[in-house]
């Protein structure tokens, strides 16, 4: 059977956003007809993103501006599940948010008590992509962790690609500074951890073996979906040979290291395609 032979059995498709659904402010070719096809077939889809700055409504407006209309409840950014994650796992807490206003709002709406960054102590210090991170914050966080605050991060990504391919510092880069000074390792919420995949499956009422994750990051999208028991499709954006090519494994390993993570175990996708257009063609083949 062809590698993609499982696709017709899938009930739910999960898509990463950046590098899959869009590049910069441009919607990827194949996305609109692919989503139309899934809707016609009565299949579920959810967008799963490690974006820790924007909520679903903000991302929905962004997609709308690119020409794609998606209901907010189909968009699952880590920004919107962080508060629920903390409540599900630890109950209501005092939380210091090092990140965007949207992240802080989500955490407050989940019933946690917000603590200002420069106030002493909190049950949890949660770190997202804080574009106003600075030395004094680092000092204050280090003191909190030293006094017993739990260190939790929205996502482990060290950077994401900017509009011109430049590296934009992500949560993981800030976290590296905090981990260096405290000697602690953060607990992460977003991909590749299972929580976000579990939330998406719950939303669709689907079991792991009937869900497929489509993503461009081997370390978060592909490794995470494999660990959660899902099938996966890797969008290479032209950086690896096609599905039938030999030597794909080496390319995967080198991409793994290039993604800014220490590779640990295989992050092998079930299907490898160049782009969404190619995935659309595979889905149409049935
Ligand atoms: Mg991506």
- SS3 readout for 106-152: HHHHCCCEEECCCCCCCCEEEECCCCCCCHHHHHHHHHHHHCCCEEE
- Please state, in angstroms and rounded to a whole number, the distance separating the CA atoms of residues 71 and 126: 28
Ligand 1 centroid, distance to 132 Cα (angstroms): 23
Tell me how crowded residue 35 is: count the other CB atoms within 10 A of its CB.
Answer: 21
Which pLDDT score, from 0 to 100, does residue 251 have? 34
- The ranges of the chain with pLDDT < 50 are 242-263
Which pLDDT score, from 0 to 100, does residue 47 have? 98
Structural contact between residues 149 and 121, judged by C-beta atoms closer than 8 angstroms = yes
- How would you classify the pairing of strands 22-23 and 150-153? unpaired
- The span from the first CA to the last CA of the chain, in angstroms, equals 13
Which pLDDT score, from 0 to 100, does residue 161 have? 77
Ligand 1 centroid, distance to 282 Cα (angstroms): 21
Ligand 1 centroid, distance to 215 Cα (angstroms): 6
Ligand 1 centroid, distance to 17 Cα (angstroms): 6
Ligand 1 centroid, distance to 285 Cα (angstroms): 25
Which pLDDT score, from 0 to 100, does residue 266 have? 65
Q: What angle do CA 147, 171, 195 make, to 5 degrees?
A: 85
Ligand 1 centroid, distance to 4 Cα (angstroms): 21
Ligand 1 centroid, distance to 161 Cα (angstroms): 9
Ligand 1 centroid, distance to 172 Cα (angstroms): 15
Ligand 1 centroid, distance to 272 Cα (angstroms): 15
pTM to 2 decimal places:
0.88
Ligand 1 centroid, distance to 191 Cα (angstroms): 11
Tell me the pLDDT tens digit for each residue of 143-180.
999 999 999 999 999 998 777 778 999 999 999 999 99
- Please state, in angstroms and rounded to a whole number, the distance separating the CA atoms of residues 262 and 236: 19
Ligand 1 centroid, distance to 148 Cα (angstroms): 34
CA-based nearest residue to 150, from 178, 115, 126, 166: 126
Ligand 1 centroid, distance to 89 Cα (angstroms): 27
Ligand 1 centroid, distance to 218 Cα (angstroms): 9
Ligand 1 centroid, distance to 259 Cα (angstroms): 11
**Token pair of 185 as six digits:** 């390792």
Cβ < 5 A residues, ion ligand 1: 16, 18-19, 216-217
Ligand 1 centroid, distance to 166 Cα (angstroms): 14
Name the DSSP letter for residue 162: -
Q: Which domains does the chain have, with CATH numbers?
A: 7-50+191-285 (3.40.50.1000), 80-188 (3.40.50.1000)
Ligand 1 centroid, distance to 41 Cα (angstroms): 26
Ligand 1 centroid, distance to 18 Cα (angstroms): 4
């Amino acid at each position: 059977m062809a590698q993609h032979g499982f696709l017709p059995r899938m009930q739910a498709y999960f898509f990463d956003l950046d590098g899959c659904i869009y590049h910069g402010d441009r919607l990827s070719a194949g996305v609109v007809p692919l989503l139309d096809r899934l809707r016609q077939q009565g299949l579920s889809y959810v967008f799963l993103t490690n974006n820790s700055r924007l909520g679903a409504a903000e991302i929905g407006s962004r997609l709308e501006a690119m020409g794609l209309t998606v209901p907010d409840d189909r968009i699952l950014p880590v920004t919107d599940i962080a508060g629920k994650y903390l409540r599900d796992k630890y109950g209501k807490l005092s939380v210091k948010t090092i990140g965007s206003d949207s992240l802080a709002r989500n955490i407050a709406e989940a019933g946690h008590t917000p603590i200002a960054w420069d106030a002493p102590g909190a049950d949890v210090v949660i770190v997202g992509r804080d574009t106003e991170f600075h030395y004094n914050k680092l000092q204050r966080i280090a003191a909190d962790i030293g006094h017993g605050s739990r260190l939790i991060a929205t996502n482990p990504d060290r950077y994401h690609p900017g509009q011109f391919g430049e590296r934009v510092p992500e949560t993981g880069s800030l976290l590296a500074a905090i981990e260096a000074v405290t000697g602690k390792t953060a607990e992460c919420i977003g991909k590749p951890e299972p929580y976000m995949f579990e939330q998406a499956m719950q939303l669709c009422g689907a079991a792991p073996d009937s869900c497929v994750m489509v993503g461009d990051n081997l370390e978060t999208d592909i490794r995470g979906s494999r660990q959660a028991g899902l099938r996966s499709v890797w969008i290479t954006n032209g950086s690896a040979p096609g599905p039938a090519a030999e030597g794909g494994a080496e390319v995967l390993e080198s991409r793994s290291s290039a993604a800014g993570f220490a590779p640990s175990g295989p992050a092998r996708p079930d299907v490898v395609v160049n782009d969404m257009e190619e995935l659309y063609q595979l889905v149409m083949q049935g």
